[in-house]
A and B are shown apart, each in its own frame.
Chain A
Amino acid sequence: MELASLSANLLLISFVAYFVATLFFGGAVKGTKSEASYKSNRWGKIAIVITSIGFVSHVGFFITRWIVSGHAPVSNMFEFITAFAMMLVGAFILLFYLYRTPSLGLFALPIAIIIIAYASMFPRDIAPLIPALQSYWLTVHVITAALGEAILAISAIAGLVYLLKNVDLTKKSKQRFWLESIIFTLILVFGFVLSSTTFTITGYEAKFSFIDKNDNPAQIVYNYPPLFGMNEYESLTPDTMKPFAEMPAIVNAKTLTTFVWSLLVGIVLYLIIRIILRRPVATMLQPFAKKANSKLMDEIGYRAVLIGFPVFTLGALIFAMIWAHEAWSRFWGWDPKEVWALITWLFYAAFLHLRLSRGWEGEKSAWLAVIGFIIIMFNLLAVNLIIAGLHSYA
């Protein structure tokens, strides 16, 4: 059990390191006039060293957890998402050595931090593998797919920097609206972390019985005050709030409740910031992106897709097919998770063709990169939590 707690501590260390490194990247950006003069900047050097320490510690977390559980720690939501964050930082370090731009770090690390915080909201216990998951191919498939997705995610971060720098936030426009929406989504994630932590600390629990979609009785425990009740629910915990509405059997009312709570907290947070600032929240982030070179961000975005696309293909399609063949006897079964991997792949294929043959560079390319990230997140979260298929092991 000691190794298990060491593992948890290593994750904490990397979390803190990423936070500190972000500050140093901020110093690096502040201290230079532009990307071009960055090379001689001390802040940036310190920042990348701290990032690397955090990364090594993160890898340590991954390996120790692997040793403790006896299988690759990518088998539930907490494990998969923390591994994803680890690879995101790894991909950032790789691209940093290719292009040496602190502006990218200033955005990549906070996003890694948000992702780790998000992951920590899921149950963290070490779970055994069900038979379908006991395969080397699974390990290879999931790790490669996550790596591909993490590299592709860097392109969205470069795209975000590009957009923050280039979208005119002083005038009302579609671009401004969508950029603000992205920032709002990030605040929502924060809202989820905040509300989830609060109710966890208070130890809130409400248990219900209900009838599931196959007409079987079942039970469920809410960790949030129930806003929505499951199909034909009956409360089993006295003195808890009565849900406002009952949902049909196909809707997981618990997930919906969690989502609505996060949304409410997120909206309140957003409004508070907005009232204090009196202008779009994106304008607050804009100065951090101002010194980035647009062409460079564009190239990093493209390069990340070029590096990530083959890795993603290998992991999420080819290895996935090999494993699916071993475990389920068919290499492809149109399971929602599989379909969304295909959609992601087709999307990036379209991205590459649009760029290569139709000259979609700069802003168009940056928007596409952001949309690509949304698709990846959709597959990771919504498909797992809502459209549950064979893969919903979490």
Chain B
Amino acid sequence: MSNKKCLCGHENPFGTILCEQCGRPQTDEAKKSKLVDMRYEGSARRSQTYKRSIIDRVWNFFSSVKVGISIIVAVLVTSAFGTLFPQKLYVPAVTDADIAAYYERLYGFPGVLYYELGFYDMYNSWWFITLIGMLGTSIIIASFDRVIPLYKSLKKQRTKRHVSFMSRQRIYGIGSVNDTDVSLGKAEKKLKELRYNVKIEDGAILAEKGRFSRWGPYVNHTGLIIFLFGVLLRGLPGFYVDETLWLREGEMRAIPGAPGFYIENQDFMIELYSKEEDEVFGDAIDRVGAIVKNYQTDVTLYKEAEDALLGQSDKLEFVKDYSIIVNKPLNFEGYNVFQMDYRLDELKSMTFHLTEKSTDRSFGEFTVDLTNPEPTYELEEGARVELKDYFPDYDGIEDGEPKTKSPVPNNPAFIFKMVTSDKPEGEMSFVAIQQTLETEVNDYKVSFVSADTRDISGLTVRKDKTLYILLLGGIIFMIGVSQGSYWNHRRIWIQKGEGNELLLAGHTNKNWFSLRKELDQVRDYANLPQYEDREDTESFEQQNGDNS
């Protein structure tokens, strides 16, 4: 596998198709073909040259664009399947059984299948992650396979090319002119005007522009790899925090995931658009009903004092007051706290009063704090009410015992013992919203007066150190993709042939009409021979048709 020497004297690496310097075809196949394949300049690529060991085979597999495209399409198709039914994340159920039931209830058999196949959590499945991994591998290997040889041959190319190279270009012309030197001189001037880099050697011109656009794909692939690397990093501890926090009005809590920080909910509010204030929206409000204008939680952020023991929350330092609204998270030390959700009007406290049934005599009112109830409430004239039992989320009676569904005070119920001077041993009463039950007929009763409510704000706490890596990947991708898309690599070769003949050839990696537009300007100005675009016979026929 040694290097091969071209007729021009240049030593090409094994596997070269077109001589790096003069462009003479090196392989039999290239010699036979009418047009040369200019991709990667006919350079020797590893994947095309070595095909034996296992490493070669793996390398060749991943460097193949056919394989690369298959992987892209596989990701595309699996992603599409994942949108058929909602993903697990968007299913309002927590346990596996509930999730399975959800799919079955709404989607029937296809839903069951979707669940069983694991499509309900598509994007975290091992095969999806494997596909992404293969995509990354493929991008890396395919890029290395091409970029180095491409770089070398573009660097080494000579101005004067061999005729067999010129005549195998897609744009090619040959013809006699009055004075070759005058034409070459004028061509040089015009090409420079069109902002080509012009090199001259021994009666030959090489005009080139936009070579840097050839590196676009490699730059954008680098950006993609950086992005994928960033995504990979979030699996590591410390890089990524994602917690939720429900915070009642007036409540202060440690921020989960952010040790040493505390947050207090001063006030939560929700604002609707009104027809009076926002007149232009009148029709829309009439059509769809109330539209929310703003959710907002006014919070105070505290930090544990430096000298405090961890978890000792009595030594707090004020950090700042902030109003968290959607699209405006609270930021501190790399953390973001977002306004995500809310629950309005959770019961906070209930006020009752104690009366004697027959006379309506009142012993005064008492207020039960529903998150922190007290065992006894002292009233007037020596009366008191004892709270014997409390069911925050009363859910009916089971086996003779009242039940609570959750510790959240959605539907509070109480067993009160009413003690008065008449009845020092007390009377029992079960009080729930809208009902009072008595085991025996009582003389006294506790009746509901009023309730106080408060709102709960749903907050999400995030820290994501990878964001900057992702952003960097995105920016590099954009640079590379713009470089490759908005600039093209164009080359024009002009050289003397025999006698008064001039040879003309052109190549671009994309947008041939734009190259031809420029070439026509040069040709008109320098009186160069007519050329043809061997892939577009239509235009030339049409042109002739129009002239006739």
- A residues with CB within 8 A of B: 1, 4, 33-37, 68-69, 98-99, 123, 125-128, 130-132, 134-135, 137, 213-214, 248-250, 293-296, 299, 302-303, 306-307, 309-310, 313-314, 317-318, 321, 325-331, 333-336, 339-340, 342-343, 346-347, 349-350, 353-354, 356-358, 383, 387, 389
Contacts and interface: CB of A to CB of B under 8 A. Distances in A.
Interface size classification for chain B: 35 or more
Given A306-B485, A339-B83, A334 B89 contact: yes
B536 A295 contact: yes
B543 interface: yes
Listed from nearest, the 5 A-B pairs whose CB atoms lie closest are A125-B283, A127-B284, A131-B326, A34-B542, A357-B65
Contacts of A127: 281, 284, 288, 291
Nearest to B273: A128
B106 A249 contact: yes
Given A128-B284, A353-B65, A309 B76 contact: no
Contacts of B485: 306-307, 309-310
A331 B542 contact: no
A293 B69 contact: no
A293 B542 contact: yes
B539 interface: yes
B437 interface: no
24 contacts: A33-B545, A69-B280, A127-B284, A127-B291, A128-B281, A131-B292, A131-B295, A131-B327, A295-B513, A299-B513, A303-B511, A309-B481, A313-B477, A318-B478, A321-B470, A328-B338, A329-B329, A349-B72, A350-B72, A350-B76, A353-B69, A356-B65, A358-B69, A383-B83
Nearest to B537: A295
Contacts of A326: 327-329
Contacts of A353: 65, 68-69, 72
Contact of A68 (B89, B122, B280, B295): B280
Given A303-B511, A326-B327, A346-B76, A36 B543 contact: yes
Contact of A313 (B292, B478, B511): B478
B512 interface: yes
Interface of B: 39, 65-66, 68-69, 72-73, 75-76, 79-80, 82-83, 86-87, 89-90, 92, 106-107, 122-123, 242, 273, 278-281, 283-285, 287-288, 291-295, 325-329, 336, 338-340, 460, 462, 467, 470, 474, 477-478, 481-482, 485-486, 510-514, 533, 535-536, 538-539, 542-543, 545-546
B470 A327 contact: no
B338 A329 contact: yes
Given A4-B280, A313-B478, A346-B72, A293 B326 contact: no
B233 to A, nearest CB: 14
Given A343-B76, A346-B76, A299 B511 contact: yes
State the majority secondary structure of interface residues on A: helix
B101 to A, nearest CB: 13
A302 B513 CA distance: 12
A374 B326 CA distance: 34
A339 B462 contact: no
Given A249-B106, A318-B474, A342-B79, A125 B287 contact: yes
Given A128-B281, A310-B481, A314-B478, A134 B327 contact: yes
A192 B12 CA distance: 64
A346 B329 contact: no
A248 to B, nearest CB: 8
A358 B67 CA distance: 11
B76 A299 contact: no
B545 A331 contact: no
Given A331-B470, A358-B66, A250 B539 contact: no
A347 B76 contact: yes
A94 B28 CA distance: 45
Contacts of A389: 86, 90
Given A329-B338, A329-B462, A134 B539 contact: no
A325 B474 CA distance: 15
B280 A1 contact: yes
A318 B327 CA distance: 17
Nearest to B295: A131
Contacts of A327: 326-327
Contacts of A329: 329, 336, 338, 340, 460, 462
Nearest to B536: A295
A364 to B, nearest CB: 13
Contacts of B325: 131
Nearest to A132: B326
Specify which of A37, A306, A340, A354 lies most central, judged by the most chain B CB atoms within 10 Å of its CB. A306
Given A214-B92, A339-B82, A343-B80, A306 B542 contact: no
B154 to A, nearest CB: 17
Contacts of A249: 106
A99 B284 contact: no
Contact of B482 (A250, A310, A317, A336): A310
Contacts of B535: 295
Contact of B83 (A295, A306, A321, A336): A336
A330 B460 CA distance: 10
B288 to A, nearest CB: 8
Given A98-B514, A330-B242, 12 more contacts: A1-B280, A33-B545, A34-B542, A125-B284, A130-B291, A131-B295, A293-B539, A306-B486, A313-B481, A326-B329, A329-B340, A389-B90
A296 B39 contact: no
Nearest to B488: A306
A327 B295 CA distance: 12
Nearest to B70: A350
A39 to B, nearest CB: 11
Contact of A293 (B123, B279, B292, B538): B538
A15 B533 CA distance: 40
A73 to B, nearest CB: 12
Contacts of B65: 353, 356-358
A35 B513 CA distance: 13
A330 B243 CA distance: 12
B500 to A, nearest CB: 29
Contacts of B280: 1, 4, 68-69, 126
